[in-house]
Structure 1
């Protein structure tokens, strides 16, 4: 996907992973805003992680769960002058659940929208997140603006198939890392060594440096906040619609600058408070990555 002003985005099928979002900058060039990692799999295949991915799980009253993972191209619209929209779809006909992932590239915004439709005659519980890895020079040079006063819960990092977490992350505290962090992970967390009151807090810094290891869900964060990278001299405005929670993860600054773990992970989340869809209902939620650097 490419616009005349120089904004581009790259999407992989059938995984639906957004591997690149390059945005024009004030200095006349363009900068990659997403962080990806390429490694070799067990059978010699290329394994790509990072970028913008979906970690979704739908569950019905019978506790039958389904997670969309293979996406089919449904429609492309727009033009290179104004905006381009790409619609992907993943359908489970047996469980009568349809999920659409709508990507929109505008002059200074990349939006990811999720649309979940319940065609069943019974309610559906939906949990998950849009997880974005924003590339930075180093977490040491990166700051989050606008989260002061937001309540948060410290949690273990949760992974999709595309998540990146250092193998030694928080080893001293024995963090629990699951394939997809869900209610089982939450129960294990609360029933383990840490007590809930020790993990809760309120953000007291309006210009928060992200140099320390952290994994949190903010439960009362504003719909928009800003990530500033002083090393690369750029920033990203992150916004959400439909989601009540903000997930933020930092691998910390002990790693190599501009290396494999030079990123900040943000996620628009529905994990602590699942979305309940009644029969015939449709739910929408989206994330917006806005480039203010022109």
Structure 2
């Protein structure tokens, strides 16, 4: 799947003519619009507006087979993704994301990180607006959020399909100077138990221990993610190899990367390798493995150079009974340079064939 064919802001042509809401470029911020106003302007089959437990405005996307997704409009956080799957010998709807809702904050889910090269968030304090919505009435629904960050215009497009969900970011530089960006789309994927959590598809890829980018939706802080977990015990690895020190590169040798211990890694081509004319990039996708539920999901990256992957080890108990991974495409090690008048695009897709 080519990035160019996937990232346009509106849904590709389908057998049914897609409808499109007319939206003003000066639409008010999502936080200033009521659910009824959003419904009147953007509502359609498969797209409803409401609020979550914190009072934040939300959009609920659904498609014909019953798969659904919930999106917070003030910060672009996807808090729920429930695709239709074949599970426990019957068709059902399974929550993929691990989300923790407090009295005034929601963390986990799928969120966008967009920083400048000094690791300062470009989205902090930004007011998102619903810029557009689109659907084919049956098998795809899409919402586009927009905000300004200085001279940058940011679009964040969330799309639900019958067998997948996608989040795409487009950054346009309207200034007179180039900007350097580090970014990520990070997903907290739920697992039934700590035992039997793994991913497949990273064998042969270099990686290094690295903290996650700081974000308001993260479950583990960068310091917590990097804190070493003691060896030994039932889950500690029984004397297995320790994680390499930060900055030290190694190569993934296992077909299945077991993630019951705490890890915080970036899988990527080392920055020095990228100075060569030809070099091997990180895999464009991998598959999660949950031996307890028997379900697997592909995480696909487009437009990003790196793939971040972490597991909480024993710290998962701070955030409920379910185990989880934090993962997603990123450009963390080498900033992306966006020149004046240029744009940069990146996307993540979570897809499955559990039917």
Tell whether 2:261 aligns with 1:208: no
Q: Choose the corresponding residue for 1:113, options 168, 176, 195.
A: 168
Instruction: Look up the SS of the partner of 1:25 in the other structure.
Output: strand
> Counterpart of 1:218?
267
RMSD of Structure 2 on Structure 1 (CA): 2.5
Alignment of 1:28-177 (within 5 A): 28-40=91-103, 46-58=104-116, 66-67=122-123, 69-92=126-149, 95-165=150-220, 171-172=227-228
- Compute the TM-score of the two structures, normalised by the length of structure 1: 0.83
- Partner Cα distance (2:121, 2:83) in 1: 37
* Alpha-carbon distance change, 278 to 2 in structure 1, aligned in 2, over 3 angstroms: same
- Partner Cα distance (2:111, 2:315) in 1: 25
Unpaired segments of 5 or more residues in structure 1? 41-45, 174-193
* Alpha-carbon distance change, 156 to 105 in structure 1, aligned in 2, over 3 angstroms: same
- Partner Cα distance (1:241, 1:290) in 2: 14
Q: Is the 8 A contact 2:191 2:322 kept in 1?
A: no
* Alpha-carbon distance change, 117 to 251 in structure 1, aligned in 2, over 3 angstroms: same
- Compute the TM-score of the two structures, normalised by the length of structure 2: 0.69
- 1:257 Cα deviation (Å)? 11
Q: Relative contact order (alpha carbons < 8 A, sep ≥ 6): 1 or 2 greater? A: 1
- Partner Cα distance (1:76, 1:157) in 2: 31
Deviation per CA, 1:83-135: give whole Å up to 9, x if none.
Answer: 1111000113xx32100001111111100000000011111111111110001
- Partner Cα distance (1:172, 1:265) in 2: 17
> Counterpart of 1:43?
none
**Which has the larger Rg?**
2
Tell whether 2:80 aligns with 1:20: yes
Q: Is the 8 A contact 2:308 2:330 kept in 1?
A: yes
The count of corresponding residues between Structure 1 and Structure 2 is 264
- Partner Cα distance (1:47, 1:65) in 2: 18
- 1:66 Cα deviation (Å)? 3.0
Q: Is the 8 A contact 1:251 1:261 kept in 2?
A: no
- 1:195 Cα deviation (Å)? 6.5
Unpaired segments of 5 or more residues in structure 2? 1-60, 230-244, 269-280
Which is further off, 79-88 or 99-108? 79-88
Which is further off, 98-107 or 68-77? 68-77
- Partner Cα distance (2:76, 2:225) in 1: 27
